[in-house]
Amino acid sequence: MSADTLEPFVIDIPQATLDDLHRRLARTRAPESLDDMGWDLGMEPEALRTLLKHWRDFDWRAAEARLNAVPAFRTDIEGQGVHFVHVRGEGPHRLPLILTHGWPSCFTELLPLVPLLTREVDGLSFDVVIPSLPGHGFSAAPRAPGMNITRIADLWVQLMERLGYPRFLAHGGDMGAGVVERLRANHASRVLGVHMVNVFNGYPRTEDLSPEEEAFLARAAAWRAREGAYALLHATKPRTLAVGLQDSPAGLAAWMGEKFRSWSDGGGRLDGAISLDELCTVLTLYWVTQSIGSSIRLYHEAFSDVGAMSPPPRQGAPLGVLICPRDILPAPRAWGERWFELQHWTELPRGGHFPGFEVPHLLAEDLRAFARRVRRTKNGTLGKRGACKELTNFRELTRLD
């Protein structure tokens, strides 16, 4: 692929790859369960059996057809192959918006937002771009060290410019939140506003914490001790772990399925918030692209990324935060205000770490509310003053001076 080329991308997994997956699933050697500890020791055995049976019976071709119904492309940016979805909104008044996923998710988590955001509502729609993080799914694995959160933000600027969007809105969750925060920090002239799920709990402790913040950081320390070993393993020995996960679909299902269940608002059920079909779609994408190793390596890159691990600039492009009550560690507003000059803060009544899967309508509504706030901030309230005036404002809003 030559530089600047945007090639349409169609998923077409070879049948031999799917047949091999089914054979491996049929030969699963599940460990014996010696106790009844529920989920306390990790993936619950009965839930794993249910998931593996569903995966064996899962209709990938139907899922493949649904994914291919959304326009997708591949391009090369600085030698890095990037896969992305790109769907233009309805009507003349559109704002460009890039959405970035995290781990163990993938671009499919954000697809439910496409019809919600590309629809014109009150004179506003979005041109939606959803890239796959490098080393995730159909984006190529990085060929050299250093593809960290900061560099991914640089790639996204070039991707959006290549698509004709010199300025744009950005949203992200998990690792994607880190990417959009770096967009705000390092590409202030390019971002109209940044909307992210939650606020990173790993910023340095300060001396003037409120009781609410103290309790939040205490919960964070307890969570890391009880649940955070996966992240340390990803960051320190990703190649060792990848051997088992890339060779065993049952191992992959257990490693990722446990996180989807624990981090979502599903009432303790594996399929309580995210359907087994959605989960098996994600699992199959990681399996057929052999991207589990390159995806978890991003933790190593992220933890050594000085910019991403440092306190962010307090002021900058408008920033909005969405808090889901069943997320891993939902931050209090005081913690967000400590690090950012907030323009928008929303606490949802439900939802967990994967709002694109769990509460897409609520996420889309909040993105629209944030975008309207950005429009008022940049241009003043538009009101109903005629299409020509509004169109001029939209063009001015996204123009790079």
What count of other Cβ atoms lies within 10 Å of the Cβ of residue 378?
A: 16
What count of other Cβ atoms lies within 10 Å of the Cβ of residue 303?
A: 17
Dump strand ranges (E) for 310-387. Answer: 319-323, 344-347
Report in angstroms the alpha-carbon separations of 214 from 66, 103, 201, 341. Answer: 46, 27, 11, 20
DSSP per-residue codes, 310-323: SPPPSSSS-EEEEE
Write the single-letter amino acid at 327: D
Report in angstroms the alpha-carbon separations of 211 from 16, 120, 201, 228. Answer: 57, 43, 15, 24
| CA contacts within 13 A on the Cβ side of 347 | 7
Contacts of residue 224, defined as CB under 8 A and 6 or more positions apart, other chains included, come to 231
154 is written with which tokens? 């640089």
Report in angstroms the alpha-carbon separations of 232 from 116, 200, 225, 238. Answer: 36, 16, 11, 9
Concerning whether 174 is annotated as a catalytic residue, the answer is yes
Q: Among residues 317, 369, 327, 374, which one has the least CA distance to residue 182? A: 317
Classify 80 as helix, strand or coil.
strand
Concerning whether 271 is annotated as a catalytic residue, the answer is no
What count of other Cβ atoms lies within 10 Å of the Cβ of residue 207?
A: 4
CA–CA distance, 337 with 267 (Å, rounded to integer):
30
Classify 346 as helix, strand or coil.
strand
> Which one is catalytic: 101, 195, 299, 327?
299
> Which one is catalytic: 83, 195, 353, 366?
353
Contacts of residue 186, defined as CB under 8 A and 6 or more positions apart, other chains included, come to 150, 153, 154, 307
Concerning whether 353 is annotated as a catalytic residue, the answer is yes
Tokens 């291919």 -> residue: 68
DSSP-derived pairing of the beta strands 7-8 and 80-87: unpaired
> Which one is catalytic: 127, 174, 265, 271?
174
Active site residues: 174, 299, 353
